[in-house]
Structure 1
Amino acid sequence: MPSHLSLLLLSLFSFYFLSTLSLNPEVDYLYQIKLTFDDPDNVLASWTANDTSPCHWYGVSCDPITKLVTSLDLSDSNLFGEFPMLACKLPHLKSISLYNNSINSTLSEQVGSCGSLEYLNLAQNLLTGMLPAGLSRIGGLKVLDLSGNNFSGDIPASFGEFRSLEAISLVENLLNGVVPGFLGNIWSLKQLNLSYNPFLPGRIPPEFGNLTNLEVLWLTGCNLMGEIPDSLGRLSNLIDLDLAINNLRGAVPSSLTELTRVVQIELYNNSLSGELPRFGWGNMKALRLLDASMNELTGTIPDELCELPLESLNLYENDLQGSVPVGIAKSVNLYELRLFGNRFTGELPRDLGKNSPMLWMDVSNNEFSGELPGSLCEKGVFEELLVISNKFSGEIPVGLAKCRSLTRVRLGYNRFSGEVPEGFWGLPHVYFLELAGNSFSGAIAKTIAGASNLSSLSIFKNNFSGSLPEEIGFLENLKDFAGSNNWFSGSLPASIVNLGQLERLDLHNNVFSGKLPSEIHSWKKMNELNLANNDFSGRIPEEIGSLSGLNYLDLSGNKFSGAIPSGLQNLKLNQFNLSSNRLSGDIPALYAKKMYRSSFLGNPKLCGEIDGLCDGRARAKNIGYLWMIRSIFILAGLVLIVGIAWFYWRYMNFKKVKSAIDKSKWTLMSFHKLGFSEYEILGALDEDNVIGTGASGKVYKVVLSNGDAVAVKKLWGGSKLVDENVDVEKGAPIHNDGFEAEIETLGKIRHKNIVRLWCCCTTRDCKLLVYEYMPNGSLGDLLHSNKSGLLDWLTRYKIAMDAAEGLSYLHHDCVPPIVHRDVKSNNILLDEDFGARVADFGLAKTVDAIGKGSNSMSVIAGSCGYIAPEYAYTLRVNEKSDTYSFGVVILELVTGRLPVDPEFGEKDLVKWVCTTLDQKGIDHVLDPKLDSCFKEEICKLLNVGLLCTSPLPINRPSMRRVVKLLQEIGGFEGQMKSVNKDGKLTPYYYEDASDQGSVA
């Protein structure tokens, strides 16, 4: 008996011992959680069932003493699946973070059983449905972040019962109730963020004034209306107040000046009116940023406000009137002053910049007068000075001539006078210098040789005189030189032909003389040449005909003589004027047409078949030769026969020559394994095979011997001219050498939704790009033609999905990331199954090439209707610019309309959609060709398009996020409540700290 008892006890002890080694319930729960997730990146590989402890697993943290799980952090792990309710069974779990995954479905009410949680972060996922009321049962919860999901409906009343909650963020969801006042009962709150939700119109709850512990209040884009309640002045601990992008009206309450700890106040893009509070600003010693832009404020800026140590004062696009108080110059930390687009008058403070390290100042489009302060660059860090369209006078301060940190200077359309200081011409980092529309005098100093970074020099409509210095030829980066309407004289310096990057040279209405240099063939990128109304003489250089990109040529009002160069017939000119010169001889055949008559007037010795250009008396002298007319008629038949025979011989000879191309002249660079040679391509470049002609060249369809087809792009002269790309600061077309960009980009990347570049063939004078052939052409051509009926809803959705995945690959999977810069429907090609490929990378740039995050470009690149709004003023570009352009493509797919259309008036498609939605409702926006049974899904896609085209880059999603949103539409699982009771679509917004672009 004792032996049996001993054996039983030993067995029980062994079972208990083995159980403690292999059966840890936390291991079991977490392993079961792993099985519920789809884990394509295998980040949970360390989670194995036979472990005795999970404390060393990825994303798991334990108490160092008890070895019990206290934290689960699986952020950015690319996990798919539902919220793991089993985690609530871990009794000591205090923190769960599943930030930026693909957690989907709804969030169960049972989440309230996670009683030990203090921190819950489910931001940037795909959760839908109502917010679970049971969350308030987690008594110790301090942080709740559910931003970046698709929660809809009202905020549950139970949320007012939290007693320990310190931070709640519901930003960028689809909450469509009202902003509830019961959130003012959570006295423990320090951060309240409800931004970017399509709430019903409502007021700011005055109960929020009870949140005396609140440090951050973000109500951006919450459809708020009415006045700002005085009760907000009771938030004595508030640091950040953001009420921007709403419909708030009335005056800014004086109670806001009682926020003594506040650092920044953002009230921009509302309808606030009246004057700013006159007193109380002196109490706000911590205030660094006040942005009240895009309102209807009036009056002057209070003196007390100007005496604060502000870092940024943004009051632009208001109706403010009056002068800027001298007190603004006392701001110790003021480094950015933006007051453009108001009605300010008076002078700028004389000591502006003396006590603060000014970096950037824009007071454009006001009524300022007086001289510029000489102390702007006192601290030596001043970078951008923009004072366009004011009434400033006097000379440029000498201090600015020593400001070597300056990068962008725009003093245009003022009343400045006097000579420009010598040092000012040669500032080494200035890339944009505009002095146009003033009364400056004197000559361009030789010190301009030091302006090595100068890209645009705009000095027209002044009183400059003297000759251009030879040193201007040292500006190897100069693309635009506009010096018209001055008093420049003498010959053009010989060095001017060294400006190989020059795209526009406009020197009309001066008194230049002498001959044009014959070496101008080096201006390969020249687009506009305007030398009208000067005293140039001699012959027009034949070399002008070699400038293949030239489309604007005006040499009128000079003293050019001799014959018109026949080489001009090689050009594709949109503007052509040689009138009022001394030209003689015959007009080249291409231009001997009535439409060009005005281009040749005022040249008495010039003759051609255009009525009015030949002197009638000369005809009388030729009467003796009338007998030749009879001979011409007699020989007409013979000439016709000989001509046909000659043409046939020339054509056959041309075919032979082309087929016998010297192999040594061609260079082939392949990017994939090829089943053809370059000679098979070259032999098929006939006019019969042309399928498209554009600004960059011709595109041919070539059917290979194996039956496959390829598309061949033959670039004009090896250079790409992008006639749709507009430099908004100049209003002129730009050039871009797209060949290198195409092969640099497409030669390296591989993706099913990026058009495949098979190879390129080059000679000194010809460049060919060979792509996979896309039978259905471009989305733009198909969508906006009579064949648009082929694009039903499912096809359009598939196209949007494919294109989004292609752009997401460029932005997130390429190292370094690639910005396309010309996303549009014509650059999305369709294969035989309407699968989409992103194409045309002639403008593409890597992020490293344009600066991490964003950078200022010298000119605008892109196509009209697709260009993001931040381009127009800041010239800053990043991935969010592509997102905007893709959003326009989505709007095209949903509406069936062009990005720009005369029907829109001065609006583009984005503004037309927003206006029509607001005034007429959703049915007036959707393409009637789309089946109405898919209306809900179409509205969801439209909502994504509006999200992508948000005016602020920070509010646009990344393309990776766009793909997730589109995937949800494809599954028809989301609850993106986009149509309200009035039948109007309410756009929702986006903000993600991990996904921000630079804000203009």
Structure 2
Amino acid sequence: MPLLFFFFFFFVTPTLSLNQEGLLLLEAKNQLLPSSSSSLADWNPRDPTPCNWTCVTCNPNTSHVISLSLSSLSLSGPIPSSLCRLPSSLLHLDLSFNNFSASIPPSFSLFPNLRSLNLVENLLNGTIPSFLTNLTTLTFLHLSYNPFLPAPLPSEFGNMTNLQDLSLSGCNLLGPIPASLGKLSNLRNLELTYNSLQGAIPESLISGLTSIVFLELYENSLSGSLPRGAVWNNLTHLEGFDASGNDLTGTIPSELTRLKKLGSLNLFNNNLEGSLPESIVEAESLYELKLFNNSLNGSLPSQLGSNSPLQTLDLSYNNFSGEIPAGLCRRGAMQEIMLIYNSFSGRIPESLGDCRSLMRVRIRNNNISGTVPDAMWGLPHLFLLELDDNSLTGSISTSISGASNMSSLSLSFNMFSGSVPQEIGNLDNLVQFVASHNRLSGRIPTSVVKLSQLGKLVISDNELSGEIPLGISALEKLNDLDLSNNKLDGNIPSELGTLPVLNYLDLSGNLFSGRIPIELQNLNLNLLNLSNNQLSGEIPKEFDNENYKKSFLGNPGLCSSSSVSGLCQNLGEKKKNKIKYDWVFRFIFVLAGIVFVVGVTWFWFKFRSIKKIKKKVMPNMLKWRSFHKLGFSEYEVVKLLSEDNVIGSGASGKVYKVVLSNGEAVAVKKLWGPKNRTTVSEKDGFFEAEVETLGKIRHKNIVRLWCCCNSGDSKLLVYEYMPNGSLADLLHSSKRSLLDWPIRYRIAIDAAEGLSYLHHYCVPPIVHRDVKSHNILLDEDFGAKVADFGVARTFSRVTQGAESMSAIAGSYGYIAPEYAYTLRVNEKSDIYSFGVVILELVSGRAPLDPAYGDKDLVKWVSSTLEQSGEDQVIDPIMDVKYKGEIIKVLNIGLLCTNPLPINRPSMRKVVTMLHEISAIPRTTSGKLSPYYQEEASDNENHHGNTV
């Protein structure tokens, strides 16, 4: 008996000293999956109260628990039911950013005094329960980004009249917006984004939300016109309205645009028409106006920007006309002006030359004329100036020396004249200078060799003369050099052959003479064009073959030692064959005449019968299916498929670049026929998987499938064209230096957001199964999109299980360990593969390399970190000023490649962690600052600016 008392005293009594609230919290901890509760290690049962525990806040007077914040602790399992038995003192409960599963327990309705409930970004399923509306004291309710079953929002939510903040984004909501939400007169913030809500925006919602400050309805399927008239007059507190990414029609209500506190208006990616209301000039707080990708027309109000601190204006891809308002920067805050692909005319306002806050100006593809304001060339913060495809005249001003932040200067297809000023050499940050198809004259400035960051120099189709400047070998990051169709002369500098990453070299259509430098053989060129010059001598051995034949045509003195057709051979060989060629040519001429006459006669008789057959057969042969509104004919794609346009070939087929008659480029994948089809392609139904997956996906970081054709053996997939190819193409080639750290960081975020959309916001969720750098494509501004869904599969989170595959899909070096052994697949397999991509971005190394021995990249990074430290892992071409940020991203990659799937973060968590890294400046809202938003406005599911 004494021994029993001893054990009771030392082991039971301390536990009993903990009060009832502490015992309930310990019970809740024990209900979590054991592998996820380590973050609550300081929850000590020997404490009298839980008030000093992690994540617990107590009332200082009563010691009762009033707040429990378990956010971002990777907790998993169902929400512990014991939490719901906490006494009535609990006011705040935050379980956000975890992996809680199952449905919201009904006992949640028992919190009598709960004021805030945050369950954002978990794995909660079932439907959004109506019993939550019993929590009448709630002022804050966030349920966003959980894979709830698709269902309408219960109309009872309109009874929660104390609510001030309601966030239900990404909750798979269907049907119309309940009109009853208009009864929430205390609501200040309403987020219903990334759902499948349909129908019109209820007038009662607009008129009833009298306290609303931010109303966010973007990325749904809302249709019809925006409510009109006096219903907007009650929204006197409205600061932000975002209904972009819907199917809204009609015009923009003037009552909306005149609201005094309206600061941000986003209606892009809709089908709106009509003009921009004149009343927009009365919105004295307006700082952001994004209306791109609509069918708006007419002139802009002349006073736009004069009465408000306008910072961002994006009206791209509309039909606006008239002049650019002179007062856009009158308040001195304007940072971004994006007006591309409209019909604006007149001159660039002189006042923009005084707008020292400007960072990005994109006015390409308009009808702008006159000269660029002299002071505008030298704006100190301007880093992107894009004026292509207008009718601008005048010269590039010497004041450009003041544009110290200029990164991209694009002036093609205008009428600029005069010389390129020497002052351009002062632009230390210039990465791209494109000024083709103008009237520039004079010599290439010698100062251009000081542009150490320059990656692209295109000044083709001008009237430049003189020689290429000496010292061009200093441009170590130069990737693309196009000086074609000018009047340049002299010898081709041998130092061009020392440029380490030069990939495109076009010097055709000039007056270059002398021999071709043999040093050019050192380059790893995708394109070489020296045609139509005055070069002489023999072609260097490396280029003396049919593959480079077109690179040297039009140089009468240039000879081939290997009898390449179309080029002269050595003199002795020419004399020897002259007589033979004479009679051969005569015979060919006579024979060709006979063939021509016979051929024309035969063709005439066959043409009409073939035409009749074609009319009958063509519709049956080509069965097209479109997934977007197309600006081209599908049949035009077929006509333009030729071997000259092949840009890639893989296990599933060939890929062509097709430039259509409207100037648009598309990528066409033509799948192999049955004889050539690989086992994986045939068995997994590549075509069907790609169509079914991409055909229903709309996201800015998923490559768009325009249309497809299935006619038995002929299967075509037509995608948007990505000019910079795949991440692997750049990262593991001589073009690697183009990818500095800010670009790599953005690529990681873009790809992560695309995968997060597949895992968390698609119903059912989608596992890509072949995530790799080859399947991450880059647009012209290095924005990343996930591609190639031929082996993608859907999976269910309801059972929390993994689907069994009959064979391994994926690529060696990227396959998760558990997938290779068990053939079980879920989203954790994609996360591992994405982690490998992160390690590629950080190290610049390929996933497999003989230098690793028997290891892959993941194991090499781990062992190198242990033995030598971070410096030996980080790509040596990265700027050291980013080292701290690179290490943070490296750590995320290591988390994703954890051998145990349960220890890998979700893709939503990966996105959150990446956004928390400060490699790129951000606004106070946590979004990318306008300075660095480089996403294309014609992308769907997009919340940035036009590039």
Q: Does TM-score exceed 0.5, indicating one fold?
A: yes
**Per-residue displacement from partner, 1:309-354 (whole Å, max 9, x unpaired)?**
2100010111112221222242410111100011111111012141
Cα deviations across residues 401-455 of structure 1 (Å, max 9, x unaligned)? 4423211011011121121212125532211111111111111011111111111
Selected match of 2:81 from 80, 85, 95: 85
Tell me if the contact between 1:365 and 1:390 (Cα under 8 Å) persists in the aligned partners: yes
- The answer to whether 1:112 aligns with 2:109 is yes
Q: Which residue of 2 aligns with 1:492?
A: 492
Alignment of 1:578-977 (within 5 A): 579=566, 581=568, 583-584=570-571, 604-605=574-575, 614-616=581-583, 781-785=678-682, 787-788=683-684, 822=726, 849-851=741-743, 853-854=745-746, 871-877=778-784, 881=785, 884-885=786-787, 890=792
Q: Are 1:156 and 2:143 counterparts?
A: no
The alignment status of 1:449 with 2:449, answered yes or no, reads yes
Alignment correspondent of 1:520: 520
1:28 aligned to 2:32? no
| Partner SS state of residue 392, structure 1 | strand
State the one-letter code of the partner of 1:88: C
Q: How far 1:856 moved relative to its partner? A: 12
Shift of 1:782: 3.4
* 2:803 corresponds to: none
CA 1:791 to 1:219, structure 2 compared with 1: closer, same or farther past 3 Å? closer
Alpha-carbon displacement from aligned partner over 1:174-213 (angstroms, at most 9, x marks no partner): 1112111111101111100001111233334433222121
Structure 1 153/441 Cα, relative in aligned 2: closer, same or farther at 3 Å?
same
Query: How far did residue 866 of structure 1 move?
Result: 8.0
- Count of residues in correspondence between the two structures: 678
Tell whether the 8 Å contact from 1:162 to 1:186 is kept in structure 2 after alignment: yes
What is the aligned partner in structure 2 of residue 570 from structure 1? none
Report what 1:126 is aligned to: 123
Q: Distance in 2 between matches of 1:731 and 1:585?
A: 47
Distance change >3 Å, CA 293–CA 325, structure 1 → 2: same
Q: In structure 1, the residue corresponding to 2:484 is in which secondary structure?
A: coil
* Distance 1:272-1:190 versus aligned 2 partners, 3 A rule: same
Give the distance between the partners of 1:122 and 1:95, measured in 2 at CA.
Answer: 11
| RMSD of Structure 2 on Structure 1 (CA) | 4.8
Structure 1 residue 821: Cα displacement: 9.1
TM-score normalised by L of structure 1: 0.61
Residue 542 (structure 1) aligns with: 541
Q: 1:187 is aligned with what amino acid?
A: S
Partner of 1:634: none
2:787 counterpart SS class: helix
Structure 2 counterpart of 1:829? none
Contact 1:225 1:246 in 2 (8 A): yes
Is the partner of 1:519 in helix, strand or coil?
A: helix
Cα offset, 1:510, TM superposition: 1.1
Report deviation, 1:126: 1.5
**SS of residue paired to 2:393:** strand
Equivalent residue letter for 1:147: S
SS where residue 375 of structure 1 aligns?
Answer: helix
For residue 158 of structure 2, give the secondary structure of its aligned residue in structure 1. Answer: helix
One-letter amino acid of the structure 2 residue matched with residue 784 of structure 1: S
**Corresponding residue for 1:293?**
292
> What is the CA-CA distance between 1:558 and the residue it aligns to?
1.0
Q: Alpha carbons of 1:887 and 1:999: their partners in 2 closer, same or farther (altered >3 Å)?
A: farther
Shift of 1:60: 1.7
Pair 526,781 (structure 1): closer, same or farther in 2 beyond 3 Å: same
Cα offsets for 1:767-816 (capped at 9, x unmatched): xxxxxxxxxxxx9943323x4479999xx99xxxxxxxxxxxxxxxxxxx
Specify the SS of the correspondent of 2:257. Answer: helix
> Is the alpha carbon distance of 1:792 and 1:387 closer, same or farther for their aligned partners in structure 2, counting shifts above 3 Å?
closer
Find out whether 1:76 has 2:63 as its counterpart. no
**Partner amino acid, structure 2, of 1:885:** A
The 5 A counterparts of 1:310-709 are: 310-377=310-377, 379-424=379-424, 427-523=427-523, 525-542=524-541, 544=543, 554-560=551-557, 563-564=560-561, 579=566, 581=568, 583-584=570-571, 604-605=574-575, 614-616=581-583
Equivalent position of 2:200 in the other structure: 202
- Aligned to 2:197, what secondary structure does the other structure show? coil
1:191 aligned residue (171, 189, 192): 189
- Letter of the 2:681 counterpart: H
Label 1:585 to 1:128 Cα distance change in 2 as closer, same or farther (>3 A): farther
> For residues 228 and 791 of structure 1, what CA distance do their matches in structure 2 show?
39
Q: Which runs of 5+ in 2 are unaligned?
A: 1-8, 587-645, 668-675, 694-723, 750-769, 797-824, 831-891, 903-924, 936-947
CA distance in 2, matches of 1:194, 1:349: 40
Q: Could you tell me which residue of structure 2 aligns to residue 812 of structure 1?
A: none
Distance (whole Å) between structure 1 residues aligned to residue 688 and residue 399 of structure 2? 64
**Offset at residue 863 of structure 1 (A):** 12
TM-score normalized by structure 2?
0.64
Q: Do residues 61 (structure 1) and 61 (structure 2) align?
A: no
Residues 942-961 of structure 1: CA deviation (Å, up to 9, x unaligned)? 9xxxxxxxxxxxxxxx9999
Once the two structures are superposed, what CA deviation does each residue of 1:708-763 show, in whole Å capped at 9, x if it has no partner? xxxxxxxxxxxxxx999999999999xxxxxxxxxxxxxxxxxxxxxxxxxxxxxx
Q: Hey, what's the Cα distance between the residues in 2 that align with 1:532 and 1:853?
A: 40
Deviation at 1:44, TM superposition (A): 2.5
Q: Distance in 1 between matches of 2:244 and 2:346?
A: 29
Given that 1:480 and 1:502 are in contact with CA atoms closer than 8 Å, whether structure 2 keeps it comes out as yes
The offset of 1:399, in angstroms, is: 1.9
The residue that corresponds to 1:979 in the other structure is none
Offset from partner CA, 1:7-62 (integer Å, 9 cap, x none): xxxxxxx9xx9799625111221111112111424222233444422223232222
Deviation for aligned residue 1:282: 3.5
Contact 2:117 2:140 in 1 (8 A): yes
Change in 2 beyond 3 A, CA 1:695/1:264: closer
Select which of 131, 136, 141 maps to 1:144. Answer: 141
Deviation, structure 1 residue 698: 14
Q: Distance in 2 between matches of 1:431 and 1:846?
A: 9
Pairwise CA distance, 1:456: 1.0
* Contact kept? 2:775, 2:788, Cα under 8 Å: no
Q: What one-letter code is carried by the residue in structure 2 that aligns with 1:171?
A: S
Paired residues of 2:70 and 2:96 also in contact (CA < 8 A):
yes
SS in 1 for 2:327: helix
8 A Cα contact 2:145 2:168, kept in partner: yes
Q: CA distance change for structure 1 residues 479 and 126 in 2, over 3 Å: closer, same or farther?
A: same
Separation (CA, whole Å) in 1 of partners of 2:47 and 2:526 = 71
Q: Is contact 2:57–2:67 with CA below 8 Å preserved after alignment?
A: yes
Distance 1:565 1:207, change over 3 A: same
Q: Distance in 1 between matches of 2:205 and 2:368?
A: 43
Distance 1:840 1:438, change over 3 A: closer
1:561, distance to aligned residue in structure 2 (A): 5.1
Give the counterpart letter for 1:365 in structure 2: N
Give, in whole Å, the separation in 2 of the partners of 1:376 and 1:286.
26
2 CA distance for matches of 1:562 and 1:534? 13
SS at match of 1:854: helix
- Structure 1 unaligned blocks of 5 or more: 1-13, 567-576, 587-603, 620-693, 700-721, 734-778, 798-819, 827-838, 895-936, 943-957, 969-992
Distance 1:579 1:226 in 2: 63
Indicate the residue corresponding to 1:574 in structure 2.
none
